């Protein structure tokens, strides 16, 4: 019985996630013909200094510098 | 509105995917909004068939190709196929699915565009460099992208939605150290600047030498890192089209700071209000065929 319940759960998840993906895909495709009024931006490791704060560490350890490179390649 | 196109071809002619040309004209325009070798249009940029699946484009057994990009028009659409090969095309089967509406489409509906480009070969660093880590390569700078491989250029209002690209290596080592650069509305420096070719196509570290094919990005063909190898990649910005209001240029470096001289073939896809800027002339059919070139550098297969 438990096996059957598990199988039904997996099947339902597969169907629902598949339907969600199809719905998202259709939404993406349909919106392509409409004008968009925004500016697309990107931050990347190439151009932006990224720092992370890690809780529970000593002050010296809290700031972890992940990337400092600023020269565009 | 066209919602889906399916084609299959029957031909004994080698590279017929590079020799057949597809063109699309919307609402009586004089010059096509779509012009590309038919294989390249469907993501098969090296004249050979392979199977892959993405949301807007796919190729399926046995030689079936599909496009799911919505292609709107108000009153008239014309799609042509030119056979620039030497042999008769034995068969061209097609299905073009479209929707007819009771009311006109909104006046600001954007038209579908696709443009083919190639650099065979790209003009990279001349001279006796050894590998991608050679200071002659690695110390180069490229801030403005002027010598980049150009995927497309457009004027007007619209948004960029992606690219398919194929590479035939003339030189040894990884072809994909080049960064993507996008220039919006006449910007002199990149409005968007990426970190590497495999990064733009959303894999990483040379794709690990492994092919993959996902909904919005993929590298269904990944060759060895040596001269003569072939790779095909794609990326679609369906989640994040890049809008422009005056002009747009989409580019990628050919190697780090344009130091390599491999062969590039691509089709860029975008939507825009008409009229579109004039497309560059399609190269002659013999020039479109993938072949190795004598360019120097490591492992150059043709001396």
pLDDT (tens place) for every residue of chain B, 303 residues total: 999 999 999 999 999 999 999 999 999 999 999 999 999 999 999 999 999 999 999 999 999 999 999 999 999 999 999 999 999 999 999 999 999 999 999 999 999 999 999 999 999 998 789 999 999 998 999 999 999 999 999 999 999 999 999 999 999 999 999 999 999 999 999 999 999 999 999 999 999 999 999 999 999 999 999 999 999 999 999 999 999 999 999 999 999 999 999 999 999 999 999 999 999 999 999 999 999 999 999 999 665
Residue A66 has pLDDT above 50, yes or no: no
Q: What percent of chain A has pLDDT over 70?
A: 62
Q: Nearest C-alpha of chain A: how many angstroms from B158?
A: 7
* Residue among A33, A37, A46 minimizing CB distance to B72: A33
Whether the CB-CB separation of B124 and B297 falls below 8 Å is answered with: yes
Two tokens, residue B174: 């990884």
> Is A46 in the B-facing interface, judged by CB distances under 8 Å?
yes
- Could you tell me if residue B228 is inside a domain? yes
| pLDDT at site A67 | 45
User: Average pLDDT for residues A38-64, to the nearest whole number?
Assistant: 62
pTM (two decimals): 0.90
Q: Nearest C-alpha of chain B: how many angstroms from A45?
A: 8
ipTM value: 0.84
Question: Domain coordinates of chain A in residue numbers?
Answer: 2-67
The CA distance from B258 to B265, in Å, is 16
- Could you tell me if residue B187 is inside a domain? yes
Report H helices in B37-185.
38-41, 135-138
Sign of CA dihedral B213, B218, B223, B229: positive
Backbone torsion region of residue B155, taken as left when φ is above 0, otherwise alpha when ψ lies between -120 and 50, otherwise beta: beta
> Is A45 in the B-facing interface, judged by CB distances under 8 Å?
yes
The CA distance from A3 to B261, in Å, is 58
Q: Cβ–Cβ of A28/B143 closer than 8 Å? A: no
Number of A/B CB contacts below 8 angstroms equals 81
**CATH code, domain carrying B121:** 2.60.120.1390
Could you report how far apart the first and last alpha carbons of chain B are, in Å? 51
* Residue among A40, A46, A71 minimizing CB distance to B242: A40
| pLDDT at site A22 | 77
Whether the CB-CB separation of B258 and B119 falls below 8 Å is answered with: no
Q: Cβ–Cβ of B238/A29 closer than 8 Å? A: yes
- Could you tell me if residue B301 is inside a domain? no
Which residues from B are below 8 Å from A34, CB to CB?
Answer: 106, 108-110
- Could you tell me if residue B297 is inside a domain? no
Domains contained in chain B, number: 1
User: Which residues contact residue A64 at a Cβ distance below 8 angstroms, ignoring those fewer than 6 apart?
Assistant: A51, A52, A53, A54
The CA distance from B127 to B104, in Å, is 59
Confidence of residue A18 (pLDDT cuts 50, 70, 90): confident
Backbone torsions φ then ψ of B234, nearest 5 degrees: -155, 155
Backbone torsions φ then ψ of B268, nearest 5 degrees: -105, 145
> Is A37 in the B-facing interface, judged by CB distances under 8 Å?
yes
The residue count of chain B comes to 303
Give the structural domain span for B200.
2-288
- Could you tell me if residue B302 is inside a domain? no
| pLDDT at site A57 | 54
For residue B242, how far is the Cα from the chain centroid? 16
Q: Which residue of A has its CA nearest to B111?
A: A33
> Is B60 in the A-facing interface, judged by CB distances under 8 Å?
no
| pLDDT at site B26 | 98
Cα dist from B26 to A10, B62, B169, whole Å = 46, 30, 36
């Amino acid at each position: 019985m438990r096996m059957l319940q598990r199988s039904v759960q997996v099947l339902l998840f597969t169907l629902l996630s598949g339907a969600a993906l199809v719905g998202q895909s259709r939404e993406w495709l349909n919106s392509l013909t409409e004008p968009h009024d925004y500016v697309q931006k990107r931050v990347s490791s190439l151009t932006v200094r990224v720092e992370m704060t890690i809780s529970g560490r000593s002050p010296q350890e809290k700031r972890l510098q992940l990337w400092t490179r600023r020269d565009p390649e | 509105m066209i919602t889906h196109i399916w084609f299959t071809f029957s031909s004994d002619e080698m590279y017929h995917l590079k020799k057949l040309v597809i063109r699309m004209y919307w609402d009586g325009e004089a010059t096509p909004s779509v012009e590309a070798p038919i294989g390249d249009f469907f993501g098969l940029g090296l004249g050979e068939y392979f199977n892959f699946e993405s949301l807007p484009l796919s190729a399926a057994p046995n030689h079936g190709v599909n496009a799911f990009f919505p292609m709107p028009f108000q009153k008239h659409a014309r799609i042509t196929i030119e056979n620039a090969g030497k042999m008769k095309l034995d068969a061209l089967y097609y299905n073009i699915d479209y929707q007819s509406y009771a009311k006109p489409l909104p006046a600001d509906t954007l038209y579908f565009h696709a443009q083919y480009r190639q650099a065979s070969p790209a003009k990279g660093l001349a001279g006796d460099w050894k590998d991608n880590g050679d200071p002659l390569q690695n110390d180069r700078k490229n801030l403005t992208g002027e010598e980049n491989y150009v995927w497309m250029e457009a004027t007007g209002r619209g948004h960029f939605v992606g690219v398919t690209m194929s590479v035939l290596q003339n030189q040894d080592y990884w072809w994909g150290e080049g960064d993507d650069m996008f220039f919006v509305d006449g910007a002199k420096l990149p409005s968007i600047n990426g970190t590497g070719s495999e990064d733009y196509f959303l894999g990483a570290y040379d794709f690990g030498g492994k092919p993959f094919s996902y909904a919005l990005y993929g590298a269904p063909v990944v060759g060895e890192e040596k001269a003569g190898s072939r790779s095909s990649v794609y990326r679609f910005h369906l989640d994040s089209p890049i809008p422009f209001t005056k002009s747009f240029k989409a580019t990628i470096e050919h190697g780090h700071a344009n130091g390599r001289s491999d062969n590039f073939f691509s089709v860029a896809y975008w939507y825009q209000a008409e009229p579109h800027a004039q497309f560059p002339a399609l190269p002659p059919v013999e020039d479109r065929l993938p072949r190795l070139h004598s360019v120097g550098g490591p492992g150059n297969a043709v001396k």
